[in-house]
Structure 1
Amino acid sequence: MDPEMAALAGTAGTTLVTLLTTEAWQRAREAVSSLWRRAEPERADSISAELEVTRADLLAAQAGGDVESRTELSAEWQGRIRRFLMTHPEEAEALRTLISELGPHAPADLPVTQHATASGHARVYQAGRDQNIQQR
């Protein structure tokens, strides 16, 4: 898969799962369902139902203090969207539009975790707003 399409799927999956715990969750569900409805109409209702299950799982995880579930569920949706784009690359532009429309509704205060591995004499530098360096 083209790296740009893979990155698009990653962004879309993360944005989607993030929005499922906000007031924009229904809008996000409908937008993603309509994307599937155009390309695979027979799966649109099941995608909508899967999004509702994902939302319920996220809300339960948040209530229980489970911070890993968001990452796991984002990865699941990234995979679904990546496979969707592999089958329907013509929907990439519609997905980009969807992300740009829904992105501003995502909360800005979510933590970001970055992981990097260097081997040999290589060095990796990553930065967000603050930097906390840990060697393993």
Structure 2
Amino acid sequence: MDPEIAALASTAGTTLVTLLTTESWQGIRDRLVSLWQRARPDRAPAIADELDATREELLGAQATGDPEAEAEVGAEWQGRIRRLLTAHPELAAELRMALAELAPESAATPAVTQHAIAAGQARVYQAGRDMRISGAEGA
């Protein structure tokens, strides 16, 4: 699997879940349906219906305080988008542009990647931001 497509699909799935519960949900819906229309015109109407149903599911999950539903829906759409991009990689640039337009604050946030290897008795501490360690070390 192409790591770039996987990362783009992950971002798209997360952005989709976030935007479907906001006032700008129609924009992400229309852009995704447009992608399917270009790649699989026969599936575009069903995708539109599924996105509408997903929105209703997410709104219901928010109302009942079900955070697992958001993660599940995000993973489901991430997989669908990844499969679409794997079959039609020419759509990746259009999806990137749509995400940048619809969620500019997430596009402006740099990605943080951390990698560590510990061996023997070593310890590794990593944080994407603040880290506070208290207590007796090695006591």
What is the TM-score normalised by the length of structure 2?
Answer: 0.78
After superposition, give the CA deviation of every residue in 1:40-78 in whole Å (9 maximum; x if it has no partner): 111111111111111111110110011111111000000
Larger Rg: 2
Alpha-carbon contact 2:118-2:124 (below 8 Å) kept: no
Q: Which has the higher contact order (CA 8 A, sep 6+)?
A: 1
Where do residues 37-56 of structure 1 align in structure 2 (5 Å cutoff)?
37-56=37-56
Contact map agreement 1:24 1:105 (CA 8 A) in 2: no
Q: How do residues 30-109 of structure 1 correspond to structure 2 at under 5 angstroms?
A: 30-104=30-104
Q: 1 CA distance for matches of 2:49 and 2:34?
A: 13
1:131 shift after superposition: 4.7
Equivalence for 1:5? 5
Deviation at 1:104, TM superposition (A): 2.8
Moved over 2 A (4+): 118-133
How far has the Cα of 1:17 moved from its partner?
Answer: 1.3
- Aligned identity (percent) is 61
Runs of 5+ unmatched residues, structure 1: 107-117
Tell me what 1:114 maps to.
Answer: none
Structure 2 vs 1, CA of residues 64 and 33 (structure 1 numbering), >3 Å: closer, same or farther? same
Q: CA RMSD in A?
A: 2.4
The amino acid of 2:94's aligned partner reads: A
Aligned pair count? 123
Conservation of the 8 A alpha-carbon contact between 1:13 and 1:77:
yes
